[in-house]
Amino acid sequence: MLYDDQLPVRFPKSTFAMGVVYFLTSASVLTSIFFSLLLFLSIDDDWVMMALFGSLAIIFELGKFFAWYEFGERRSRKNFGGAISALVFYGILAAISIGGSVGGINSATNKAQNHVNVQQAKVNAFNHQIETIEQQIQLNNEAAKKYIEMSRIAVGLKRIQNENEQLRLKQQKLAQERDSLPVVSQGSVLGLIDSLARALNIDTQSAKLGLVIFLSVLLDFFAAFFIGLIGEEYRFRQGFRQVKPITIDNDDEQEAPKLLTHQVVVEETAKDNVEDVVEVEEIIEPPSLYQQAIDALENNKVSCTKKALTSFLKIDSEETDELFKRFMDEGLVSQKANKHYCWNGLSTD
């Protein structure tokens, strides 16, 4: 029986699926870099310093994601010490990156809020002028009542009426200028912040800070997930290419070794010259596990891996380890740099 020890539990992802993964990874990494640049570029106005700080932000972002990729590589090789060091390095860079993203997103939301505040301030200024004129008109009306009570209508009332007319015209002009200002929409992000503040019964600044931190951490984990997915798929494809699935043909299938018996007819002559035929079952000892393993590997019945040999001979892992140790001691098996075993074959000497 031809046996394959590592039949794949799944096939490599399709070109379309990997295209989507690469697109999402690129988008998340570029977005993370962009938000970090918003903070680092605002540190200094000098273009030299901006270039230096911008380069630093890009290096931190790319180094962070490579550290996460290296963490997956070392963990797959069971190099747990190296994996922990890569994880610690990733955590340091991720903290810097998340801080930069928090500052960048906060800066972007502040600019949007400042634009809304400026427009609202213009509207408030017009409202204040209109209200002031209205108060002046009310004072003039009070003065007009005094003139009427004092029977001096001809002296002061006409002047007050003319002044009120001028104030009304000015008030109408200010109202038209206020209404002609462009309508400033609050924006979905600012609306979300206000909704969170009302729902959680907290101030707007606390809601904005919490939302910014959440988005920054989510963006970082999102990018790290797809970086790890690419690394896992790359390692899977390498292993998949090394495994060469063999079609099992039922006609060529061989049964596992079992006890072989045959009957021997023994002819004995009795003292009274009566011949009796006796069937004696003679048990022939089966080949040892060592011989069975050599036969399977030498005739390419199984690939040279511990898992394949364990399944083929139906033995436990400890017995397989002992067999491979003996093979290596005798030079029948060698181990490559990638920890895979290679069958050297029996010596022809």
Task: Note whether 182 and 217 are same-domain residues.
Answer: yes
Q: Are residues 22 and 65 in the same domain?
A: yes
Least confident segment among 206-210, 239-243, 244-248, 294-298 = 244-248
Report phi then psi at 200, rounded to 5.
Answer: -90, -5
- Enter the tokens of residue 222: 């999102």
Q: Are residues 34 and 171 in the same domain?
A: yes
Asked which of 58-62, 106-110, 227-231 is least confident by mean pLDDT, the reply is 106-110
* Domain end position, chosen among 209, 242, 275: 242
DSSP H or E segment with residue 113? helix 80-149
Alpha-carbon distance of 160 to 163, in angstroms, equals: 5
User: Is the same domain home to 310 and 206?
Assistant: no
> Domain total for the chain?
2
Per DSSP, 314 falls in state T
Higher pLDDT, 281 or 167: 167
Distance from C-alpha of 156 to C-alpha of 144, rounded to nearest angstrom = 7
- Reference 212, options 116, 312, 136, 108; nearest CA is 108
Inside any domain, residue 249:
no
Averaged confidence pLDDT in the chain: 75
Give the whole-angstrom CA distance, residue 331 versus residue 320. 16
CB 99 within 8 A of CB 31: no
- Say if CB 59 and CB 250 are below 8 A apart: no
Q: Return the pLDDT at 342.
A: 83
Q: Decide if 102 contacts 212 (C-beta within 8 A).
A: yes
> Sign (positive/negative) of CA torsion 35, 36, 39, 44?
negative
- Segment 294-304 shows an average pLDDT of 81
Query: Quick one: pLDDT at residue 347?
Result: 61
pLDDT attached to residue 149: 66
pLDDT one-digit tens code per residue, 187-207: 566 677 778 888 888 887 788
pLDDT in tens, 310-341: 888 888 888 888 888 888 888 888 877 777 78
Q: Are residues 316 and 171 in the same domain?
A: no
Q: Is the pLDDT of residue 30 over 50?
A: yes
DSSP 8-state symbol, 3: B
What's the CA gap between 61 and 28, in Å, rounded? 11
In a domain, 10, yes or no: no
**Confidence (pLDDT) at 23:** 93
For residues 200 and 308, state if they share a domain: no
> Range of 134's domain?
15-242
Give the predicted TM-score (pTM) of the model.
0.47
229 and 266 fall within a common domain:
no
Report the CATH number at residue 272. Answer: 1.10.10
Cα 78 off chain centre by: 21
Q: What span, in angstroms and rounded, lies between the C-alpha atoms of 35 and 102?
A: 8
Same domain, 238 and 282: no
Give the Cα separation of 274 and 253 in Å (integer): 48
DSSP 120-133: HHHHHHHHHHHHHH
Closest CA to 93 of 215, 223, 206, 232: 223
- Domain limit, last residue, from 189, 213, 242: 242
Same domain, 196 and 320: no
